[in-house]
Amino acid sequence: MTKTILNPLPAPTWNRLGVNQANISLPEIPTQGWGESSTRVDAPIDSIQLECPGFSALESGGGADLDCFLRENANFHLHLAVKEGTEGMILIQHTLEEDHPHAIAHLTLRARPHSKITVIEVIRGGVSGSIHGSLAEIQAGEDAEVTLIQLQMLSAAARSWSAVSATAGENAQICIYRAALGGSSVLGGGKCLLPGTGSAFEARTIYYGDGDTILDFSDTAVHTGRKTRSEIHAAGVLDGNCQKTLRGTIDFRRGAVQGVGHESEDVLLLSPDVRNRTAPLILCGEEQVEGQHAASIGRLDEAMLYYMASRGIGEGEARRLLALAKFAPVLDALPPDLRCEAESYLERRLPS
Amino acid sequence: MAEKTYVEEISRSLYDFRDAVNADFQTDAGLTKEIVAHISEEKHDPDWMAEFRQKSLAIYNQLEIPRWGPSIDGLNMDNIVTYVRPKTDMKGTWEEVPEDIKNTFERLGIPQAERASLAGVGAQYDSEVVYHNLQSEVAAQGVVYTDLESALTGPYAEMVREHFMHLVPPTDHKFAALHGAVWSGGSFVYVPPGVHVEIPLQSYFRLNAPGAGQFEHTLIIVDENAYLHFIEGCSAPKYNVANLHAGCVEIYVGKNSRVRYSTIENWSKNMYNLNTKRAVVEENGIIEWVSGSFGSHTSYLYPMSILRGDHARMEFTGITFAGNGQELDTGAQVIHLGKDTSSHIVTKSIARDGGVSNFRSGVTVTKHADNSRSSVSCESLMLDDRSRSDTIPVMDIQTDRVDVGHEARIGRISEESIFYLMSRGLSEEDAKALIVGGFAEPIAKELPLEYAVEMNNLIHLEMQGTVG
């Protein structure tokens, strides 16, 4: 069997560092097939049309092998177009349970000019052998705004692979919020092409890993148009023997005049046995750009703990509060009910 | 319409002069068992070294060319002459060095620098060291500074054997294996316990022969509580064929010792510079790398520091300047093994006139390196839209008791800065020159004065026109 490459680093480096590609393989196809998913869709607006597939998208951040796998094995399909000048929200909920342990979704979304759409994908449950997969292919037309929020709250019995590819037209804005809070093996790869003048991409990832969890993320912004912007930010908490790899790439192609890109990561390490790998790349073939990245990796700030203790907050509670604060950038984007659910989920999972 | 910033080509006349090739002996081009055996024979290798070379060659033939860096497709080992011996043996005074070779080093200012500010000098011409000298006062302290071939069979033979290519084994990568097979020349330095070599030592490497390779090996052992500043310089005339430099530097920094290793790399633009540098640092030891990369067609250069002892420290300060036809892939690597170790990497890179200047780093903090700290900062300046500059840093953290920070910035000369300086009475050209000079200044100040001047000469920029 040919070795598949997932989450490839756009500019490879020393193999010994283990970041050139994910250390996660594709799942085996069950002998009885994937079966049906138990996915529910709520789309309470009439501005959304069903569209035929055949959507031509670029490769996702997960790489061609992952895209191909998800496309070919999807057991849930949703192909949508949002009418020009309209707004709406779609809620997609996958629950992995005994009768429906697999949900592999293929979503295509075309946001026509001046439309605004939010897609929330919630993934819950998980029994032994559960698989979640998601391929989202997005095209945002002129002045369109697309927000994709993926809230994954799986049990440790489940594994998850998700890929996003997006293209932003003139002044379009695409936001990908990824909350990877559960699962034993989690891979997420996003890529956004910014050919439209003034287009923007925002990717925010939060993650929590404990036990023997393996987390692997890769997000890339490809600036080709003028005055394009990208913001790629990640924050998370690692505990137990968790291994996490994050690749963030801002790729300024020639012609991306006045492009601006920022990326950052803030990692809180709670165990001496975690392994955290970070590869924040800036690739630059254009002179008139501004690119920055920053990373901060370490334990809780002792000074902050001391301050909180001086305000009457015990050390354990202070640690929980500071850990929870890492997740705010994505949880804040959720509707109140989902935010409460996510916070409760985290409260249960974070060490006391 | 505004005219684009124009940056002139660096004048290389100081370095770009050729001597007639007048070799005493040279191997055929290519790399075979027979050629490697011939080098062993010519160099009177001890048996273990002859065997080591052949093993290295076997490893070379097994390993693949790295797939992650700049292209080295233009390098064909079948065309590279791996050993060229000049018509002289090593001398201890410049008067004894043959006139043509001496003139070369005179033009490069090496004897003058030795008189003015160095405690010892080694000068290599093609594959062999032609001059080596150490001030008698320094030698009297027990400091050893000699060519590596002499050390192989002299009183330090055992020490050399224990340390040679132990930090950079031939299995490390293809060009380390190549080095193990055909190395020639280079220096051996030993600083005894408690000795501070107050004035720097310098080795200068000159490659004159077209189509040749230079594979010098520098082995530095600094014992406990000692200090050394070692300076490395290199240059070559430009030819229309590819030349290859695959040198190797191994530095052992003893407990409580400090070593500063400064390099001004100015190879010609037909050179493939695939150099490997590595240091291991014991308890409370410090390694400081100061690196200026200006020459070469293609460079792979990332000094690695292994912080083995508790409280060991590493500092890397580097600048890379890539112009037309150059792809310089430079940076640093550090592995934290000991507790309370720290590393600090600061780099600047400039790309202009279609040049490619990449920064690459790897910071690894291993499981037992509790309370380690690491900071990486890289800044890149793009001077036109035909150039390229990539930043590829990686951090691999295997414990929670760390403090790791990283920042990078990429951009061009800000129009606001130029405007401000012009509002204070500077011409636009002067404003740009001042900004570029200021960009490189943190690196220049880490160099001894005369080398800072050389670096400033190398990045001498002439600006004209207005901001595009």
Higher pLDDT, B356 or B454: B356
- Give the largest CA-CA distance in chain B: 71
- Sort out which chain A residues have CB atoms less than 8 A from B362's CB and list them: 13-14, 16-17
- Sort out which chain A residues have CB atoms less than 8 A from B327's CB and list them: none
| Average pLDDT of span B276-300 | 95
Whether the CB-CB separation of A49 and A42 falls below 8 Å is answered with no
Smallest Cβ–Cβ distance between B399 and the set A272, A285, A286 belongs to A272
Whether pLDDT at B48 is above 60: yes
Q: Look at B392 and A281 and tell me if their CB atoms are within 8 Å.
A: yes
Beta bridge partners of residue A178, listed in sequence order? A150, A205
Q: Look at A278 and B395 and tell me if their CB atoms are within 8 Å.
A: yes
The 10s digit of each residue's pLDDT in B310-326 is 999 999 999 998 988 99
Closest residue, chain A, to B391 (C-alpha): A282
- Sort out which chain B residues have CB atoms less than 8 A from A19's CB and list them: 394, 396
Contacts of A254 (CB under 8 A, 6+ apart): A285, A286, B385
- Sort out which chain A residues have CB atoms less than 8 A from B364's CB and list them: 17
Q: B23-26 and B6-7: which strand pairing? A: unpaired
The interaxial angle of helices A302-310 and A315-325, nearest 10 deg, is: 120
- In the three-class reduction of DSSP (H, G, I as helix; E, B as strand; rest coil), residue A271 is classed as coil
- Sort out which chain A residues have CB atoms less than 8 A from B322's CB and list them: none
Contacts of B329 (CB under 8 A, 6+ apart): B69, B70, B298, B299, B300, B301, B358, B360
Residue A304 forms contact with B (CB below 8 Å): no
- Beta-carbon pairs below 8 A across chains A and B: 138
Residue B389 forms contact with A (CB below 8 Å): yes
- Residue A262 in any domain: the answer is yes
Whether the CB-CB separation of A319 and A289 falls below 8 Å is answered with no
d(CA A198, CA B418): 26
Average pLDDT score, chain B = 88
Residue B411 forms contact with A (CB below 8 Å): yes
Instruction: Compute CA distances B313 → B27, B337, B369, whole Å.
Output: 42, 11, 12
Task: Name the CA dihedral angle for A77, A81, A82, A83, rounded to a multiple of 10 degrees.
Answer: -150
The 10s digit of each residue's pLDDT in B69-124 is 999 999 999 999 999 988 888 888 888 888 888 888 887 778 887 777 787 888 88
Q: Look at B394 and A277 and tell me if their CB atoms are within 8 Å.
A: yes
Whether pLDDT at A45 is above 70: no
Q: Look at A269 and B400 and tell me if their CB atoms are within 8 Å.
A: yes
E strand spans, A155-199:
159-168, 173-180, 185-194
| Average pLDDT of span B366-376 | 94
Residue B334 forms contact with A (CB below 8 Å): no
Q: Is the ipTM of this complex over 0.85?
A: yes
Residue B128 pLDDT level (bands cut at 50, 70, 90) = confident
Per-residue DSSP letter, A218: E
Q: Look at B68 and A12 and tell me if their CB atoms are within 8 Å.
A: yes
Q: Cα A268 vs. chain centroid, distance in angstroms?
A: 18
- Sort out which chain A residues have CB atoms less than 8 A from B399's CB and list them: 269, 272-274
User: Position A209: which residue type?
Assistant: G
Residue B457 pLDDT level (bands cut at 50, 70, 90) = low
- pLDDT for A55 equals 67
| Average pLDDT of span B116-141 | 86
- Residue A285 in any domain: the answer is yes
Domain count along chain A? 1
Q: Look at B402 and A297 and tell me if their CB atoms are within 8 Å.
A: yes
Span of A231-240, B59-68, B259-268 with lowest mean pLDDT: B259-268
CB atoms within 10 A of CB A100: 19
Whether pLDDT at B467 is above 80: no
- pLDDT for B451 equals 65
- pLDDT for B115 equals 77
Contacts of B367 (CB under 8 A, 6+ apart): A272, A273, B398, B399
Alpha helices in A47-193 (DSSP H): 64-73
Residue B63 forms contact with A (CB below 8 Å): no
Smallest Cβ–Cβ distance between A284 and the set B380, B398, B407 belongs to B380
Q: Look at A297 and B396 and tell me if their CB atoms are within 8 Å.
A: no
| Average pLDDT of span B26-35 | 93
Q: Look at A269 and B402 and tell me if their CB atoms are within 8 Å.
A: yes
- Residue A14 in any domain: the answer is no
- Sort out which chain A residues have CB atoms less than 8 A from B176's CB and list them: none
Instruction: Compute CA distances B294 → A213, B10, B358, whole Å.
Output: 45, 10, 13
Burial class (CB in 10 A: 0-12, 13-18, 19+), A163: buried
Residue A20 forms contact with B (CB below 8 Å): yes
Smallest Cβ–Cβ distance between B382 and the set A16, A287, A295 belongs to A287
| Interface probe, candidates B356, B372, B376, B392, chain A, greatest A C-beta count within 10 A | B392
Q: Which of B324, B318, B322 lies closest to B294 in space, CA to CA?
A: B322
- Sort out which chain B residues have CB atoms less than 8 A from A290's CB and list them: 410-411
Residue A110 pLDDT level (bands cut at 50, 70, 90) = very high
The 10s digit of each residue's pLDDT in B177-194 is 999 999 999 999 999 999
Instruction: Compute CA distances B322 → B206, B386, B389, whole Å.
Output: 21, 12, 9
- pLDDT for A77 equals 93
Whether pLDDT at B437 is above 80: no
DSSP of B273-323: EE-EEEEEE-TT-EEEEEEEE---SEEEE--EEEE-STT-EEEEEEEEEE-
- pLDDT for B458 equals 61
Residue B449 pLDDT level (bands cut at 50, 70, 90) = low
Domain boundaries, chain B: 12-301, 414-468
- In the three-class reduction of DSSP (H, G, I as helix; E, B as strand; rest coil), residue A20 is classed as coil
Smallest Cβ–Cβ distance between A283 and the set B367, B383, B390 belongs to B390
Domain boundaries, position A113 = 38-301
Q: Look at A294 and B407 and tell me if their CB atoms are within 8 Å.
A: yes
Q: Look at B400 and A15 and tell me if their CB atoms are within 8 Å.
A: no
Q: Look at A276 and B385 and tell me if their CB atoms are within 8 Å.
A: no
Residues of chain A numbered 259-298 and touching chain B (CB < 8 Å): 269-298
Distance from CA of B4 to the nearest CA of A (A): 11
Whether pLDDT at A334 is above 90: yes
Q: Look at A270 and B400 and tell me if their CB atoms are within 8 Å.
A: yes
| Average pLDDT of span B220-237 | 92
d(CA A118, CA A145): 8
Higher pLDDT, A325 or A146: A146
Contacts of A151 (CB under 8 A, 6+ apart): A120, A121, A122, A123, A179, A181, A334, A338, A342
- Give the largest CA-CA distance in chain A: 61
Residue B385 forms contact with A (CB below 8 Å): yes
| Interface probe, candidates B304, B390, B403, B415, chain A, greatest A C-beta count within 10 A | B390
Contacts of A2 (CB under 8 A, 6+ apart): none
Q: Cα B289 vs. chain centroid, distance in angstroms?
A: 9
Residue A303 forms contact with B (CB below 8 Å): no
Q: Look at A299 and B401 and tell me if their CB atoms are within 8 Å.
A: yes
Residue B9 pLDDT level (bands cut at 50, 70, 90) = very low
